[in-house]
Structure formats: structure tokens, C-alpha cells
Amino acid sequence: MARAVTASRKALTTAIAGALAFLMFFPILWIVVLSLKTEVDAIRAPWQVLTSGWTFESYGAVQERSDYFKHFWNSVIIAFGSTLLGLVIAVPAAWAMAFVPGKRTKDVLMWMLSTKMLPPVGVLVPIYLLFINIGLLDTRFGLVIVLMLINLPIIIWMLYTYFREIPGEILEAARMDGASLREEVLYVLTPMAIPGMASTVLLNVILAWNEAFWTLNLTASKAAPLTAFIASYSSPEGLFYAKLSAASVMAIAPILIMGWFSQKQLVRGLTFGAVK
């Protein structure tokens, strides 16, 4: 029997949720406001910032100084490339762990997850030297490899969780019908796990898009994505708040738009298998 929810309790819950949502969104809103101000207005008191004039000159200055579209395409290639390469490796790995479980499956999963607990700076020097020696420094391919390896544990964990919700009997029936291992994974398992795979792709694209540590340390100019594009507006001369805010808005806008239009698929994937 469902519990009755009073109108006052519903209103209170809605108000609290709305307040929390506003607090989480406020930093982005404030960055947008500062991006529409001049450098002089951007450093004023908050009330004076809101009441001063509005202008798009910071966006024009950012585009004149930096090639936004070059950084944008670098981010697209690096984020989607690392995610798709991770899927190619993670799908068979998650399939093996989900449907051919061994005594050490949980130990392997925990070991993979433990690699995310290692501070990135701990392996920066060897990876940096390796990239110099094999010619991958400041290349998009090098960043694709690094970000794929960084996010691979998360991709495998998520796919393993979704694959475990798929009845093994369906795969057994496919084998009895003569399906090969490749056909089983490609034509039976993958279509059934599309909601989970879609949410995995979206989450890992966001993680790769926002990655700053490796992109700042392993690039200079050729393969620099939007994270490096933002960092270029922090200089020894000081912070240019209006231009920095404009660069930030230009960097996060594509991923925000993608997240907004794919939120239904993301929620569906993250709740996949939650209700039997």
C-alpha cells in the first residue's frame, strides 16, 4: 500500500529540491553572467556586476585570440575516440566477467577500480617520458590512448553491471541456434544492452571532455582540447575574468547541450535493471 503524501510535505520537498538545484547550477549561471561583462565590470561587487551593461565583446576577443574550433574538434576526437576504443575493449571483458564468471571475478573488478584511486601525478613522469620517446606527445592519438586507459575500469564496471541483468538463457538459446561467439556478442548481447551502453558512452564522454590533468600535461598546441583552451586565459599577468568566463562557457556549452538532449537516455541507462 502506497504511503499518502500530504500537499505540505510535497511542497516542502519540491522547495528543497529546487533550492539544491539552484545552488548546483549557480556557478554555471554566474560564469555566463561574467562572460557577458567587460573586464572592468567583471571584477566589481556582485550587485554592480548584475546592474552593469551587457556585451558580447569577450566572446569576440576569445575567438580572435584562440582558434576555438580547433580546440573543439580536438575535444570531440579525444572524448569520443577514447570512449569508443574503450567500448571495443570493455564489451568482451564485461561479457567474460558477466557470463563466464570465475572465482576471482570480483577481485579483478576491485583491482581495476583501485587503479582509479592512484593519484595521476604518481605516473605522470613515466608516461611523459614514454610519450616523448615514442613520439606521442602533443598528439590526439596519444591522448585517446591515455584517456581510454584512465576510464576503462569505469566502462567495464558499468557494462558488467548491465550485462548481469540480461538472462543468460537468452545467450544459451542463441548458441543452440548456431550463433558463434562473435554473433552472440554482436547481434544478441549488444542490442539488449543498448540503454546501458548509451549511458556508459555519455558518462565517459563527459569524463573525457572534462579531463584537465592529462590534457594540460601531455599537449602543447597541436592536440590541445578545450580544457587547455580555458587554461590559456590564466596568465602571469593575472586573471581576465570576463574572457576566462567566456572561454569556459564556450567549452562547456557543447557538453551541456548534449547532456540536456540525452538526459532521458542517460537516466534510462543508469536505472537499467533497477526494477524487475
Q: In the numeric block, which cell numbers belong to residue 51?
A: 546592474
Q: Which residues pair with 239 in a beta bridge?
A: 234
Q: Nearest CA to 155 among 185, 188, 112?
A: 112
- Regarding whether 181 and 144 lie in a shared domain, the answer is yes
Domains contained in the chain, number = 2
- Regarding whether 88 and 47 lie in a shared domain, the answer is no
- Regarding whether 24 and 148 lie in a shared domain, the answer is no
Contact 206, 218 (CB under 8 A): no
Segments in the chain forming alpha helices (H): 7-35, 39-42, 46-51, 57-65, 68-99, 105-114, 124-134, 140-164, 168-176, 181-183, 190-192, 194-210, 213-217, 226-231, 241-261, 263-270
Per-residue pLDDT of the chain (276 residues; tens, 9 = 90+): 456 667 888 888 899 999 998 998 898 899 999 999 988 888 887 888 888 889 998 898 888 888 889 999 999 999 999 999 999 999 888 888 888 767 778 888 888 888 888 888 888 999 999 999 998 999 999 999 999 999 999 899 888 888 888 887 888 888 888 888 788 878 888 888 887 888 889 889 989 999 989 999 999 888 999 998 888 877 655 678 888 899 999 999 988 888 787 777 666 656 654 444
Q: Which domain holds residue 21?
A: 7-58
Q: Which residues pair with 238 in a beta bridge?
A: 235
Q: Residue 135 maps to which CATH number?
A: 1.10.3720.10
Give CA–CA dist 202/221, Å, rounded.
27
Q: What's the pTM value of the predicted model, to 2 decimals? A: 0.83
| Residue 234 DSSP code | E
- Regarding whether 54 and 21 lie in a shared domain, the answer is yes
| Residue 237 DSSP code | T
Orientation of helix 194-210 relative to helix 68-99, angle to 10°: 140
